[in-house]
């Protein structure tokens, strides 16, 4: 009887802890997300300035966004940089992860940590360092400068996801391919790559989001002839708050939600 009561009490206490943790998570999420969601109704306001709650609803600022050549050019520039960054970071990150997975040498752990350094290094430090170098190379304000800088910060996301996929890969598949005479190149493209493709896709989506939403690097590297969407939004806030920013922010929120939902779908698959 005593042991049964103890088990029941433990079960009740565990449920209470789980319910309490769940409640705390909900409170924290509301605290973090609610200020962001307030932007959505503000974007449908007819007012010339940002107001909440809006007195009347309208699509005025969405229409002005799609009619503005400056905003559309900045959006197109962000898409171009994000797509090319996703491709370059995916290729480099996949090859680096595969090379590190197959290699065994002294100092391998140090190299692994070095390759993911941009993740835990403050972005402002990376931006200042990149700007000081790119300014001398005349890459600031150019597409190539953005591509190289964004590839640096997006590379670790590919490397980590692909490395995790390779660690969970059954080595007997590659051994079986080698036993039937397949070269290392054929084994990689026909065996390894299809098995880790989900990890590569998730990392690629992370790289795309990192590049598309990146603002700190854009502030340093943007020029007169090439400006990305985050830099355009920063200028809109700095030189006069325009309600178009709320409309753009709303579209970015929905866009990011779609991308992250796609990531979750790929991971589960």
Report the domain count for the chain: 2
What percent of the chain stands above pLDDT 90?
Answer: 13
Q: Please report the pLDDT score of residue 24 as a whole number.
A: 82
- Same domain flag for 199 and 96: yes
Judged by average pLDDT, the poorest of 57-61, 220-224, 237-241 is 237-241
Q: How far is residue 66's CA from residue 173's CA, in Å, rounded to a whole number?
A: 51
Does residue 247 lie within any of the structural domains?
no
Longest C-alpha distance within the chain, in Å?
A: 80
Does residue 269 lie within any of the structural domains?
no
- Same domain flag for 81 and 10: no
167, pLDDT greater than 70: yes
CA 195 vs CA 108, 166, 177, 179, 190: distances in Å: 24, 9, 13, 19, 9
CATH number at residue 110: 1.10.3720.10
Does residue 162 lie within any of the structural domains?
yes
Q: Please report the pLDDT score of residue 62 as a whole number.
A: 87
- Same domain flag for 132 and 232: yes
Judged by average pLDDT, the poorest of 45-54, 125-134, 154-163 is 45-54
Does residue 264 lie within any of the structural domains?
no
User: How many C-beta atoms lie closer than 10 Å to residue 182's C-beta?
Assistant: 16
Does residue 246 lie within any of the structural domains?
no
At residue 226 the predicted structure's pLDDT band, cuts being 50, 70 and 90, is confident
The residue segments making up the domain with residue 14 are: 2-37
Q: How many helices and strands (H and E) does the chain possess?
A: 15, 0
- Same domain flag for 147 and 215: yes
Q: Which residue has the higher pLDDT, 1 or 114?
A: 114
Could you report the per-residue pLDDT of 173-215, keeping only the tens digit for each?
Answer: 878 887 887 777 888 888 888 888 888 898 899 899 989 988 8
Could you report the per-residue pLDDT of 94-128, keeping only the tens digit for each?
Answer: 999 988 888 888 888 888 888 888 888 888 888 88
Q: Please report the pLDDT score of residue 6 as a whole number.
A: 45
Does residue 81 lie within any of the structural domains?
yes
Q: How far is residue 245's CA from residue 65's CA, in Å, rounded to a whole number?
A: 9
User: How many C-beta atoms lie closer than 10 Å to residue 153's C-beta?
Assistant: 23
Q: How far is residue 231's CA from residue 248's CA, in Å, rounded to a whole number?
A: 12
Does residue 28 lie within any of the structural domains?
yes
- Same domain flag for 81 and 27: no
């Amino acid at each position: 009887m005593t042991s049964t009561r103890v088990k029941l009490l433990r079960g009740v206490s565990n449920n209470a802890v789980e319910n309490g943790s769940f409640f705390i998570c909900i409170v924290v999420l509301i605290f973090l997300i609610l200020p962001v969601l307030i932007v959505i109704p503000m974007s449908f306001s007819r007012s010339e300035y940002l107001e909440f709650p809006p007195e009347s609803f309208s699509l005025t600022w969405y229409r002005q966004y799609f009619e503005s050549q400056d905003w559309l050019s900045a959006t197109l520039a962000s898409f171009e940089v994000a797509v090319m960054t996703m491709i370059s970071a995916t290729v480099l990150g996949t090859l680096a992860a595969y090379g590190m997975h197959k290699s065994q040498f002294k100092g391998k752990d140090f190299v692994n940590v070095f390759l993911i350094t941009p993740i835990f290094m403050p972005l402002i430090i990376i931006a200042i360092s990149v700007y000081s170098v790119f300014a001398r190379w005349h890459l600031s304000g150019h597409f190539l400068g953005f591509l190289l800088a964004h590839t640096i910060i997006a590379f670790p996301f590919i490397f980590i996801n692909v490395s995790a996929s390779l660690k969970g890969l059954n080595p007997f598949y590659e051994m079986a391919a080698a036993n039937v005479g397949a070269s290392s190149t054929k084994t990689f493209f026909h065996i390894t790559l299809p098995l880790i493709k989900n990890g590569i896709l998730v990392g690629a989506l992370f790289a795309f989001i990192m590049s598309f939403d990146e603002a700190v690097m854009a502030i340093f590297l943007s020029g007169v002839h090439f400006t990305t969407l985050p830099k355009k939004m920063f200028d809109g806030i700095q030189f006069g708050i325009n309600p178009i920013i709320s409309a753009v922010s709303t579209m970015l929120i929905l866009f990011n939600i779609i991308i992250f939902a796609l990531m979750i779908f790929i991971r589960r698959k």
